A and B are shown apart, each in its own frame.
Chain A
Amino acid sequence: MNGPHDLGGLHGFGPVAPEVNEPYFHAEWEKRALGVTLSCGAFGAWTIDESRHARENIPPATYLAASYYEIWIRALETLLQRHGFVSGAELAEGRMLEKGATPKRVLTAQMVPAVLARGGPCDRPVDTAPRFAAGARVRTRNVNPATHTRLPRYARGKVGVVETVQGSFVFPDDSAHGRGENPQWVYTVVFDGAEIWGEGAAPGLTVSIDAWESYLEPV
Chain B
Amino acid sequence: MHMHDHDDDHHHDNHFSPMEARVRALETILTEKGLIDPEAIDVIVETYETKIGPRNGARVVAKAWAEPDFAAWLKQDATAAIASLGYTGRQGEHMRAVFNDGETHNLVVCTLCSCYPWSVLGLPPVWYKAPAYRARAVMDPRGVLEEFGVTLPADRKIRVWDSTAELRYLVVPERPAGSEGLDQEALADLVTRDAMIGTGLALSPEARA
In the complex, residue of chain A having the shortest beta-carbon distance to the beta carbon of B163: A210
User: Do residues B160 and A207 form an inter-chain contact, with CB atoms below 8 A?
Assistant: yes
Task: Write the nearest CB–CB distance from B152 to chain A, whole angstroms.
Answer: 9
CA distance A40 to B112 in the complex (A): 22
CA distance A210 to B182 in the complex (A): 37
CA distance A39 to B131 in the complex (A): 26
Q: A109-B42, A150-B112 are in contact. Are A7 and B134 (CB under 8 A)?
A: yes
Shortest Cβ-Cβ A-B pairs, 5 listed: A35-B41, A210-B165, A94-B25, A8-B111, A96-B32
Q: A26-B3, A34-B123, A152-B162 are in contact. Are A11 and B135 (CB under 8 A)?
A: yes
User: Do residues A152 and B164 form an inter-chain contact, with CB atoms below 8 A?
Assistant: yes
CA distance A86 to B36 in the complex (A): 12
CA distance A11 to B143 in the complex (A): 13
- The dominant DSSP class at the A interface is mixed
Interface string of A1-17 (1 = CB under 8 A from B): 00001111111011111
Q: List 20 A-B contacts (CB under 8 A).
A: A16-B147, A22-B125, A27-B20, A31-B41, A32-B24, A35-B36, A35-B45, A39-B40, A67-B3, A67-B19, A68-B129, A73-B23, A96-B29, A113-B43, A119-B88, A152-B112, A152-B162, A202-B139, A204-B157, A207-B159
CA distance A29 to B3 in the complex (A): 10
- Residues of A close to B165: CB separation below 8 A: 150, 166, 169, 186, 210-212
Task: Write the nearest CB–CB distance from B95 to chain A, whole angstroms.
Answer: 11
Residues in B lying within 8 Å of A, measured CB to CB: 1-4, 6-7, 17, 19-30, 32-37, 39-45, 47-49, 52-53, 88-94, 96, 111-114, 119, 122-123, 125-127, 129-136, 138-142, 144, 147-148, 155-167, 194, 199
In the complex, residue of chain B having the shortest beta-carbon distance to the beta carbon of A26: B3
In the assembled complex, A121 has its CB within 8 A of some CB on chain B? yes
Residues in A lying within 8 Å of B, measured CB to CB: 5-11, 13-19, 22, 24-36, 38-40, 43, 52, 55, 64-65, 67-70, 73, 76-77, 80, 85-86, 90-91, 94-96, 99-100, 103, 106-109, 111-113, 115-123, 150-152, 154-155, 166-167, 169-170, 186, 188, 190, 196-197, 202, 204-212
